[in-house]
């Protein structure tokens, strides 16, 4: 039998949607996105030009950077690029090509921890970028929302798509599905926990961050 939490999450009997359904969520009702968008409170997804505009970063209040396209052959900023900012920006690099064959899964939890740590600091705000802010950076933000905010993969996509057009490549999307399967098993186990449903599964209403 299926059970539904207070926020409408199907638990027992929940099945991770197939890739085609996730693609439908990603592709429907698309509208122009700017070079950067706050897609969750204190989480910004951006392109590389925004990430290199230090003056703009200061205006946005960015305290932490995740470069999802790090490396000498990609966007080789590194922590040194931000070492002379008025407020020292903390840097985390992920060397990930935008290839469907690349295994980005090992970066899910370390990057999610970095984002979580940043957001728990006073006035912490994270900018996650790759080249265009569409695939690699979006994949890591979706994984964060699934791991730390308790969202399913569909809910995470809907939450981000409220604010920005994103499109993880097919390989990354499959890896997010696998993460969703893993986390859904943990959610089912959480049904027997004394914690309330509202504390385990936050609201995912499409509101401004």
What pLDDT does residue 194 have? Answer: 58
Q: Quick one: which H or E segment has residue 24?
A: helix 19-27
Q: 20, 130, 162, 206: which is the annotated catalytic residue?
A: 130
Decide: 128 and 42 in contact? Cβ < 8 Å. no
Over 90: is that where the pLDDT of 74 sits? yes
Decide: 136 and 69 in contact? Cβ < 8 Å. yes
More confident call, 18 vs 191? 18
The answer to whether 130 is a known catalytic residue is yes
Beta carbons within 10 angstroms of residue 165's beta carbon: 17
Q: Cα(111)–Cα(106) distance, rounded to whole angstroms?
A: 9
Task: Work out the pLDDT band at 207, boundaries 50, 70, 90.
Answer: low
Strand-pairing partners, residue 65, are 91, 127
Task: Work out the pLDDT band at 68, boundaries 50, 70, 90.
Answer: very high
Instruction: Report the percent of the chain where pLDDT is more than 70.
Output: 86
Q: Quick one: which H or E segment has residue 127?
A: strand 126-129
Decide: 115 and 123 in contact? Cβ < 8 Å. no
Domains of the chain with bracketed CATH: 19-190 (3.90.190.10)
Q: Cα(203)–Cα(182) distance, rounded to whole angstroms?
A: 21
pLDDT of 4-54, one tens digit each? 433 445 456 789 999 999 999 999 988 888 999 999 999 999 999 999 999
Pairing relation of β-strands 126-129 and 64-67? parallel
């Amino acid at each position: 039998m299926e059970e539904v939490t207070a926020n409408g999450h199907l638990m027992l009997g929940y099945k991770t949607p197939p890739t085609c359904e996730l693609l439908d969520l990603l592709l429907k009702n698309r509208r122009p996105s700017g070079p950067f968008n706050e897609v969750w409170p204190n989480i910004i997804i951006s392109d590389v030009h925004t990430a290199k505009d230090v003056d703009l970063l200061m205006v946005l209040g960015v305290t932490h950077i995740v470069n999802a396209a790090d490396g000498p052959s990609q966007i080789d900023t590194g922590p040194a690029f931000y070492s002379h900012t008025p407020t020292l920006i903390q840097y985390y690099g992920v060397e990930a090509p935008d290839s469907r064959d690349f295994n980005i899964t090992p970066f899910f939890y370390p990057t999610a921890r970095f984002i979580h740590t940043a957001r728990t600091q006073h006035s912490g705000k994270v900018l996650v970028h790759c080249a265009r802010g569409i695939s690699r950076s979006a994949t890591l933000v979706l994984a964060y929302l699934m791991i730390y905010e308790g969202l399913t993969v569909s809910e995470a996509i809907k939450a981000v798509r409220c604010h920005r057009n994103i499109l993880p490549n097919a390989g990354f999307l499959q890896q997010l599905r696998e993460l969703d399967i893993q986390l859904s098993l943990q959610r089912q186990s959480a049904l027997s926990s004394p914690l309330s449903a509202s504390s385990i599964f936050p609201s995912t209403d499409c509101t401004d961050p």
